[in-house]
Amino acid sequence: MSDRTLDISLTVNGEPVHERVEARKTLVDFLREDLSLTGSHVGCEHGVCGACTVRVNGEIVRGCLMLAVQCDGAKVETIEGISDSGEVTDLQTTFEQRNALQCGYCTPGMIVAAQDLLKRGGVPSRDEIREHLSGNYCRCTGYHAIVDAVEAVAQTRAGGKQ
Amino acid sequence: MKPAPFAYRRARSLEETVALLGEHTDARLLAGGQSLIATLNMRLSAPSLLIDINAIGDLDGIAHKGGTVEIGALTRHAQAEHSETIARHAPLIARAMPYIGHAAIRNRGTLGGSIAFADPAAELPACLLALDGEVDATGPQGKRTIKAGDFFKGLFETALGPQDVLTAIRVPAATVDTRVGFAELARRHGDYAIIGLAASARAAGKRLADVRLSFFGVGSTPVRARLAEAALSAGAIDAKRLDAAVAALDLDQHDDAQTTAAAKVHLAGVLLRRVAKQLLEART
């Protein structure tokens, strides 16, 4: 099995995928180039910006710091699947209402990271929201509005008023 | 950038891994990959083979036994962060954990990988040194144990040989009189520290004994501030003794791209005061 290309089987957004990939291909490049799932963005390619955040086996990871071959047998979810399922509709709507995006480049990663925090339940403090999103860069520097949006969704989900 | 081409092999056992390292002298081990894959992407590293050790059983897990806490090399940071055993019996590691990278990084990165990579600005090597911990490694001659004080040799350089695999780290379990402290300064939460300090001590009445101060981000390895340790241990801790400990800091600093030497020396004193305060708090 020592080779530069390998066969992998995995589930992406609930659908089985069988592909032959180069060992050196990162997960996010595989998703974008081989599967045309371009919602996950490639920013810094060294784990700093968070634009490539996806879920692997339910946990958020950097799509640029995992290889596609490491996902053999894994369950991968991208912003496409996570938004299609309706899981983050309230986050998406509130980001729009609160102007929590300008260029939108960081938004898929922000939504996936924010949902990772919110699905734990409860209403996190603004500091906790900032800390959890600390791995996601927004270069339009709209962090304040992003924290507002995430906090508002947390409150709504917890039954409070937005 | 994209990585240069390499072959990939999923190892099934330690023996297979050691043998593969012998056959491929420029191979690299892939554990959490949170530093390695970044260096591959930037082509700072271009091995011919990656040996993925994630499928090897028995290399993860956290166990409290015989007065020590043993942490398997493949234990993810997130596992340690949420571990009751770490919180109770290895409180320094528990304190350091939230500072390591970001949530998505901690889901993948491993404790063994962080120790073996030995980044001089990383938190865990400094914690291991402050706790006088040790690591287990398996190589062609079998298993051996290396004390933290003998492990970190230089910039990204450790006592591990070319065919060694780090399998576990071990630290003494905290007792009722164990005191720990941790602080770091970074431009953004989760980034590598400009400077940081991990410390352990034993409470002895109003005094501290066995003080170990392990700075990171100040040299090519974690560095103990032995003169400041002695100053802190010399009597009851009051403002005067704290001043003396700060004055005794003898870190040899140079200007780097972000921070001047004078600023680093100043920040080392700031951290020492913060950490000393933590060391004086009763255990909860």
CATH number of the domain to which A144 belongs: 1.10.150.120
Q: Answer yes or no: do B104 and A23 touch at CB < 8 A.
A: no
Phi, psi of B142 (to 5 degrees): 100, -155
Q: Is the domain of A131 the same as that of A77? A: no
Kindly give the pairing relationship between strand A5-12 and strand A75-77: parallel
List, as ranges, residues 108-147 from A with C-beta within 8 Å of B.
113, 116-117, 130-132, 134-136
CB contact under 8 A, A113 and B4: no
Contact across the interface for B188 and A69, Cβ inside 8 Å: no
CA–CA separation, A107 and A100 (whole Å): 8
Window 96-125 of B, Cβ < 8 Å to A? 98, 101-105, 107-108
Domain that holds residue A14: 5-82
Domain end marker among A82, A102, A119: A82
Q: Is A46 on the interface with B (CB under 8 A)?
A: yes
Domain match, A75 and A100 both = no
Question: DSSP letter string over B185-211?
Answer: E-SSTTSPPSEEEEEEEEEETTEEEEE
Same domain assignment for residues A9 and A76 = yes
The last residue of one of the domains, among A25, A49, A82, is: A82
Q: Is there a single domain that holds both residue A76 and residue A98? A: no
More confident site: B118 or B284: B118
- pLDDT of B190 reads 82
* φ/ψ bin of A104: left (φ > 0), alpha (ψ from -120 to 50), beta (otherwise): left
| Total domains present in chain A | 2
Task: Using the predicted structure, report yes or no on whether residue B259 has a pLDDT greater than 70.
Answer: yes
Verify that A64 and A91 share a domain, yes or no.
no
Q: Do A66 and B40 touch (CB under 8 A)?
A: no
Are A70 and B4 inside 8 Å of each other by CB? no
pLDDT of residue B258: 85
> What pLDDT was estimated at residue B187?
87
For residue B194, the model assigns a pLDDT of 94
Alpha carbon distance B127, B222 (integer Å): 9
Task: State the 10-residue block means of pLDDT for chain A, 162 residues long.
Answer: 86 98 98 98 96 98 98 98 98 97 97 97 96 95 94 92 46
* Residue B189 banded pLDDT, cuts 50, 70, 90: confident
Q: How far is CA A57 from CA A12, A13, A62, B43, B111, in A?
A: 10, 11, 13, 28, 20
Residues 242-271 of B with CB under 8 A from A: none
**Would the pLDDT of B256 be above 90?**
no
Residues A66 and A90 in one domain: no
Domain co-membership, A31 together with A60: yes
Asked if pLDDT for residue B136 goes beyond 50, the answer is yes
CB contact under 8 A, A23 and B52: no
Q: Do A11 and A57 fall within a single domain?
A: yes
Digit-coded pLDDT (tens) for B216-241: 999 999 999 999 999 999 999 999 99
The answer to whether residue A58 is domain-embedded is yes
Same domain, A10 and A75: yes
A29 touches chain B (CB under 8 A): yes
Q: Report the CATH number at residue A71.
A: 3.10.20.30
Q: What is the ipTM of this complex?
A: 0.94
Residues of chain A in contact with residue B10, where contact means CB-CB under 8 angstroms, are 1
Element holding A89 (H helix, E strand): helix A89-97
Name the token pair of A27.
Answer: 């997960």
Q: Does A102 touch chain B (CB under 8 A)?
A: no
Verify whether the Cβ–Cβ distance A62 to B190 is below 8 Å.
no
A37 and A59, same domain (yes or no)? yes
* pTM, entire model: 0.95
A-contacting residues of B 141-200, CB under 8 Å? 188-190
Interval B260-284: pLDDT, tens: 999 999 999 999 999 999 999 876 5
Same domain assignment for residues A146 and A106 = yes
Percentage of chain B beyond pLDDT 70 is 99
Specify whether A78 is located in the same domain as A92: no
Q: Strand, coil or helix: what is B171?
A: strand
Number of A/B CB contacts below 8 angstroms equals: 101
The full set of domains in chain B, from first to last, is 7-52 (3.30.43.10), 62-170 (3.30.465.10), 180-279 (3.30.390.50)
Residue A20 lies in a domain: yes
**Predicted pLDDT at A161:** 47
What distance, in Å, lies between the first and last C-alpha atoms of chain B? 47
d(CA B75, CA B111): 6
In a domain, A162, yes or no: no
Which of A112, A2, A134 minimizes the C-alpha distance to A61? A112
Q: Average model confidence (pLDDT) for chain B? A: 96
> Could you tell me if B40 lies within 8 Å of chain A, comparing CB atoms?
yes
pLDDT band at B191 (very low <50, low <70, confident <90, very high): confident
Q: Which of A41, A66, A82 is the last residue of a domain?
A: A82
User: Tell me, what's the pLDDT at A1?
Assistant: 46
